[in-house]
Amino acid sequence: MEEENIKDKKTILIVDDEKPIMDILVYNLKKEGYETLEAADGATAVDIALDKKPDLILLDIMLPGMDGLTVCKKIRNTLNIPIIMLSAKDEEIDKILGLELGADDYITKPFSVRELMARIKANLRKVEIAKTEKNNNPQQENGHRIKVGQLELDLEKFEVRIGKTIIDLTLREFEVLKYLASQPGQVVTREVLLEKVWGYEYYGDIRTVDVTVRRIREKIEKDSNLPKMLITKRGVGYYIADK
């Protein structure tokens, strides 16, 4: 019943110019109980996303006119919702670039419908958990704040501050930082971050974590090449400096 409630009335925007793929996605998403919106080009996708504010976006990279990476960037400037990139190309550069522009996930064509549905559920579930979770970690104040040194996370507003400066993070970046900041000084492996933050197995694709951490550092550190807050434990993982 819990999973049913999570996806109840959730709306997914599908952006793909290949009608057979669009038809398959619409059919399977509606079968799973989701509402769907459709766009066959980038400009229309941006307009629909900003107007309708869907709960999740399935976004093809190769689109007529405005490509999917540009669409992702434009949507990310306004909305903080899960974006799963779809592509026929399995090139590392596309994957990393998509994540750096704010995508939450990436899957290549041809894909298993079952795998895609699992990823959709995992991404939506993480949003719901982020909205309702109350962590009793002693680093939190009044159950909805985490403060470590100058770093402060407001779990209700999904807001990050360094001193008095508000830092703009995507939801996935916020969740990574939250997980690390809730246990300062404790090294967390990439594999654990993939499981706890992304919500499913990535089959060793730890580059996803590295890209996300790099993006966070660029936003919270004075010098991302010499981080003072989000530290790498070489060969193991990452941790938030406990100070």
Q: What is the pLDDT of residue 139?
A: 47
CA distances (Å), origin 212, targets 100, 193, 230: 7, 11, 12
CB 215 within 8 A of CB 173: yes
CA atoms of 195 and 220, how far apart (whole Å): 24
Across the chain, mean pLDDT equals 84
Locate 108 and state its tokens: 């290549």
Q: How confident is the model at residue 217 (pLDDT cuts 50, 70, 90)?
A: very high
Band (6; pLDDT cuts 50, 70, 90): very low
Q: What mean pLDDT do residues 34-58 have? A: 95
The more confidently predicted of residues 88 and 187 is 187
Report, as an integer, the average pLDDT of 120-136.
Answer: 71
Task: State residue 141's pLDDT score.
Answer: 47
- Residues 6 or more apart whose Cβ sits within 8 Å of residue 86: 16, 58, 59, 60, 61, 68, 107, 108, 109, 111
Residue 87: strand pairing partners: 108
How many C-alpha atoms does 159 have within 13 Å on its Cβ side?
Answer: 10
CA distance 67 to 83: 14
Domains of the chain: 2-132 (3.40.50.2300), 145-240 (1.10.10.10)
pLDDT at residue 182 greater than cutoff 60: yes
